[in-house]
Structure 1
Amino acid sequence: MIALTLLAFAVVYFGLIAYFFFIYEWLYPEFIDDDFLRTGDIVTLGLLLGIGISTASLLGWILARRIVEPLKSVAGAARRVAEGDFSARASLRRGNFGEASDLVDDFNQMAERLQRAEAELQYSNSAIAHELRTPLTILRGRLQGLLDGAFTPSAELYGRLIEHVDDLSAIVEELRTLALSNAGQLDLQCSRLDLAVEAEAALTSLEDQFGKAGITTTLALRNAVTSADRSRMRQAFVALLENCCRYAPQSTVHVETGVARQHVFFRCTDTGPGLPDESRARAFERFWRADESRGRSGGGSGLGLPIVKAIAQAHGGDALILSSHNPGLAVEIRLPRREQPVSI
């Protein structure tokens, strides 16, 4: 600010000199050089310069504080985050610039996301250990019993052991899918497909499970053509339908596909116990189960809906729970409407 004030003063001063020496003398030939810049003029110029520099210094100090304070707050919070304290937040006083407010808000949002990610990671680690410990404990107990002669080898016993191994393999594969999705490395082999055809195929593959769960289905399968990975979409559809078998037995499941504006959708609605409003925001969290409203008798890993969302987002779409006044749960997968295959 002082430098700008001095520069402005220099421009005015030398401009006056140029004016008096070249222009004023030509306009007024009777001008006498002795009349140029008397003592009073010099004093006036000096006072103006002093007032300008003082004002510039004061304004510069005020503006500098308004600029530096939020930067110092962000820097301090960033150091705490770097040291592992993800609860650190930057503060902002009233009267700061809009850009400073945007910077503080963006930093605090980033810190909040880091804190949530850290909490989710810690929870996921403990949940993974718990989910893997149960089938491993059962396997070890059965194998130890066979070794000690406590169990008689039979086809039925070996079949149960294979089921536990399959459960472990499924959990590992689900974790692998989520890890690849988070790293942006989920490999997709996209081709032109119709969601209605894939939904019908997924329903056909689960006919026996639906029959055992006492579920009846109603369909509204309209053409919904897009470009997507066929196997991944089949995996997402099956995960949603298995979710109905596990948590909404003896209910009616309505499956619908169609086109809405610039996206295609697959919608699965059941008439089961549903989820309370406060639980819907957590439905896509890893290993989370709504134990109060949905039973665990089916032994779900809590990874079904997170995988559905990961697959949808890998295609540039999303998965969401639709609000409804009717009982039950409605989950929709939305994908961009693309006619040509894309390389991902």
Structure 2
Amino acid sequence: MHRERGGSLNSRITLAMIGLTLTAFAVVYVGMMAYFFVIYEWLYPQATPDESWRLGDTVMVGLVLGFGLMTASLIGWRLARRIIAPLKTVAAAARRIATGDFSARADLPPGSFGEARDLVADFNRMAERLQHAETELAYSNSAIAHELRTPLTILRGRLQGLLDGVFEPGPQFYCRLIAHVDDLSGIVEELRTLALSNAGQLDLALTPIDLADEAAAALTALEAELAAAGIAVTRNLDPAATLADGARLRQAFVAVLENACRYAPHAPVQVQTAIDGTDVVFRCTDGGPGISEDGRARAFDRFWRADDSRGRSLGGSGLGLPIVRAIARAHGGEALILASDTPGLAVEIRLPRRPSPRSARDPHVR
């Protein structure tokens, strides 16, 4: 493998240690000469020092210098090995990742420095995230193709039937076609929202809002769907004012409520808003069958459904809860699945409680 002109780190550290030894030897030698010069020229000029340089002196100086160089070389070589060993493992793993093997991980050699331990740990975390992103990307591409294929196939079949005279055109038929187009538009808009969130470009129009008002608006918008699902809603909407994007929050609340309609029909649903310390909270708790521990961990993964056997008509697109988390994080908050000993599912959206600029200036404004 080609090496840079500067040489390897091992040789550079060894040469640096040798240079340090030679420098120290030169300093000691010059210091001794200066010392004797001061002694015999300034302080005791009448003294008669032995100025002859014996062979033994030369041998002794050579032995001291040689021993110092050997010690410095050995210390530098061992130090360089301890520094280079973790770098080599990271470099080897990086080369494997560059070839497409995202399962590669760096090993930590024994006796490594704390900084090397941190480097290897950070590299392995990065590699793990890359592997997860690669897996999610491959799965997302397949899932997107599947989700778009279903309404497109239905649309093509209906249009082909219309062309062949199998279907008779009429308002009801066209309404069904428009519904399929709306499904496609909804999937595209959901994908766009997630893409903007992943890129950190999900723009928010922050205005003073009350979570209680936005939750009430979402419940009103889904009143017919909730009634059709046989869901009785209990509202505990306490004031929870903050600065947020009302339209985006309504989108998130509607997604949570649609999830309850889909997976907890004929079950009670409780919707709460409140202030919890420095956060404002929206919580939706249903009395449905709930999901497993693994399901709670994967509930916010794109295209994941609690039951893979569900068709799209029952399971949705699998993008609802991921969008809920994306909107919450865009506000600096978080979306959570709360653990519970009772059946059902509790989804919580927590946002930082931000006072409006006017209320921050005027202590009398609440």
TM-score range, shorter chain: over 0.9
C-alpha change, 1:17 and 1:135, in structure 2 (3 Å) is same
Distance in 2 separating the partners of 1:218 and 1:261: 24
2:212 is aligned with 1:203: no
Q: Does 1:44 align with 2:60?
A: yes
Q: Per the alignment, in what secondary structure is the counterpart of residue 34 of structure 1?
A: coil
Q: In 2, Cα distance between the equivalents of 1:139 and 1:169?
A: 13
1:182 alignment counterpart: 198
Query: Match for 1:113 among 129, 154, 157?
Result: 129
Give the secondary-structure state (helix, strand or coil) at the position aligned to 1:218.
strand
Give the C-alpha shift of residue 295 in structure 1.
8.2
Q: Distance in 1 between matches of 2:136 and 2:47?
A: 84
Cα distance change, pair 23–214 in 1 and its aligned pair in 2 (3 A):
farther
Greater shift in the superposed pair: 81-90 or 127-136: 81-90
Select between 258-267 and 189-198 the one with higher mean Cα deviation. Answer: 258-267
Provide, for residues 255-276 of structure 1, a one-character-per-residue CA deviation record: whole Å limited to 9, x for no partner: 1122222222211111111110
Question: Is residue 2:160 matched to residue 1:140?
Answer: no
Q: Say yes or no: does 1:279 pair with 2:314.
A: no
Mapped to 2, the partners of 1:246 and 1:211 lie a distance apart of 12
User: Secondary structure, in 3 states, of the residue corresponding to 1:302?
Assistant: coil
Give the one of 251, 254, 260 matched to 2:267: 251
The superposition leaves residues 268-316 of structure 1 with CA deviations (integer Å, 9 ceiling, x where unpaired) of: 1111111100121111111001107988652400000010111111111
* Bigger Cα displacement from structure 2, 257-266 vs 40-49: 40-49
> Is residue 126 of structure 1 aligned with residue 142 of structure 2?
yes
1:62 aligned partner, one-letter code: R
Task: Tell me the equivalent position of 1:290.
Answer: 306
- Aligned match of 2:208: 192
Measure the CA separation in 2 of the matches of 1:312 and 1:61: 53
Q: Compute the displacement of 1:340 (Å).
A: 3.6
Q: What 5-or-longer segments of structure 1 have no aligned partner? A: none
Q: What's the C-alpha RMSD, in Å, of the aligned pairs? A: 2.1
CA distance in 1 between counterparts of 2:148 and 2:313 reads 17
Q: Distance between the aligned counterparts of 2:124 and 2:264, measured in 1?
A: 40
> Which residue number corresponds to residue 333 of structure 1?
349
Unaligned runs of 5+ in 2: 1-16, 358-366
Amino acid at match of 2:280: V
Distance change >3 Å, CA 183–CA 33, structure 1 → 2: same
SS of the residue aligned with 1:281? helix
Cα distance, 1:170 vs structure 2: 0.5
Which SS does the other structure have where 1:334 is aligned? strand
* Residue 48 of structure 1: how far off its partner (Å): 2.3
TM-score (norm 1): 0.93
Residue by residue, what CA displacement relative to the aligned partner does 1:114-166 show, whole Å, maximum 9, x if unpaired? Answer: 11111111111111111111111111111111111111223222221111111
C-alpha change, 1:237 and 1:23, in structure 2 (3 Å) is: farther
Alpha-carbon distance, 1:113 to partner? 0.7
Distance in 2, matches of 1:104 and 1:251, equals: 50
Percent of aligned pairs sharing the same letter: 70
Q: Are 1:241 and 2:257 matched, yes or no?
A: yes
CA distance in 1 between partners of 2:258 and 2:28 (Å): 81
2:40–2:49: 8 Å Cα contact kept in structure 1?
no
- Aligned pairs, how many? 341
Q: Which has the higher contact order (CA 8 A, sep 6+)?
A: 1
1:75-94 matches, within 5 Å, as 75-94=91-110
Q: Please, which moves more after superposition, 254-263 or 52-61?
A: 254-263
Structure 2 distance, partners of 1:31, 1:62, is 48
TM-score, normalised relative to structure 2 = 0.87
**What SS does structure 1 have at the residue aligned with 2:79?**
helix
Specify which of 83, 89, 103 is matched with residue 67 of structure 1: 83
What letter corresponds to residue 118 of structure 1 in structure 2?
E
What is the deviation of 1:65?
A: 1.0
